[in-house]
Structure formats: structure tokens, C-alpha cells
């Protein structure tokens, strides 16, 4: 897939059905070389550290749920933004959630989220993200 827009997209969500559907959609769209799925914020941070150690950079795009067990999306964003590597600033982050709470949107935006999308993820929503890059 030499013409993929993203090298790696990371999905961070504790809803296994959403993860299955979203991963399938992204793979079908052929916009990423790799789509990785983790089930909570803590697993996402661990994956990012391993990924950085292997590639010296982070995934291009993270799609993150706000409300998760173990570590929620807001805590994930705070922890990720505290990473020491300059490459953190190159990562594009979108929130993918069922939450419509304004304070969730504001807090996520304050911690670097560029998009706030309501589930389910659709081809149209992904095309909006791609268009805004």
C-alpha cells in the first residue's frame, strides 16, 4: 500500500464491537498501512512507548474514546502530552465517542484533540478528517 495516507492509525476504545467495525472500515478504505487496536488508555500508552522505541516516531493518527475503563480518554491525552519526545506534536488525535458533553469536548480540545466525532465512525467522517489534514 504505497499510497496510504497514514502509516499507522491507533484505535483506543474499550468497546470491542466498535473496534471491530472501525478497524474493518479503516482497512477497507486502505488509508493506513497498519490499524492497531487497544482496549483502554493505559494499553494505548504502553503501545505508543513500544511503537516509539521501534520506529522513533508515533502513529500518525489516534482515534480515542473518552469514556473507558482502566484509563479514560482525557487521562490518556494528559499522559500522552507529557511524553518527552518532540514527535508527540506530529500526532493527529480525534475523539470518537458517544459523549455529547460540552466539557468533554472542551477538555479534549485543550489536550490536543483536533476532531470530536460521534460514534459510529463512518467513511464520510474519515474523509472529513483526511480533507482537513
What is the CATH classification number for the domain harbouring 63? 3.40.50.2300
Can you give the pLDDT at residue 128?
93
pLDDT of residue 81: 92
Cβ 84 vs Cβ 48: under 8 Å: no
pLDDT at 108: 85
Supply the pLDDT for residue 114.
Answer: 93
Question: Is residue 35, in this structure, part of any structural domain at all?
Answer: yes
Residues 6 or more apart whose Cβ sits within 8 Å of residue 29: 123, 126
Residue 1 lies in a domain: no
pLDDT of res. 102: 82
Length of the chain: 133
- The number of folded domains in the chain is 1
Question: Does the residue 13 lie in any domain?
Answer: yes
In this prediction, the residues of the chain whose per-residue pLDDT falls under 70 are 1-2
Structural domain span for residue 99? 6-131
Task: Let me know if residue 93 belongs to a domain.
Answer: yes
SS3 97: strand
Q: Closest by alpha carbon to 120, among 5, 13, 3?
A: 13
Confidence at residue 1, expressed as pLDDT on a 0 to 100 scale: 42
Amino acid at each position: 500500500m504505497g499510497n496510504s495516507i497514514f502509516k499507522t492509525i491507533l484505535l483506543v476504545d474499550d468497546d470491542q464491537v466498535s473496534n471491530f467495525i472501525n478497524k474493518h472500515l479503516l482497512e477497507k478504505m486502505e488509508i493506513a498501512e497498519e490499524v492497531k487496536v487497544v482496549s483502554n488508555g493505559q494499553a494505548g500508552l504502553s503501545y505508543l512507548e513500544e511503537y516509539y522505541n521501534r520506529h522513533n516516531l508515533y502513529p500518525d493518527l489516534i482515534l480515542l474514546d473518552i469514556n473507558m475503563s482502566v484509563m479514560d480518554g482525557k487521562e490518556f491525552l494528559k499522559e500522552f502530552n507529557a511524553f518527552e519526545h518532540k514527535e508527540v506534536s506530529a500526532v493527529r488525535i480525534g475523539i470518537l465517542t458517544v459523549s455529547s458533553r460540552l466539557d468533554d469536548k472542551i477538555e479534549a480540545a485543550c489536550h490536543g484533540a483536533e476532531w470530536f466525532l460521534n460514534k459510529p465512525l463512518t467513511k464520510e467522517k474519515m474523509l472529513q478528517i483526511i480533507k482537513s489534514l
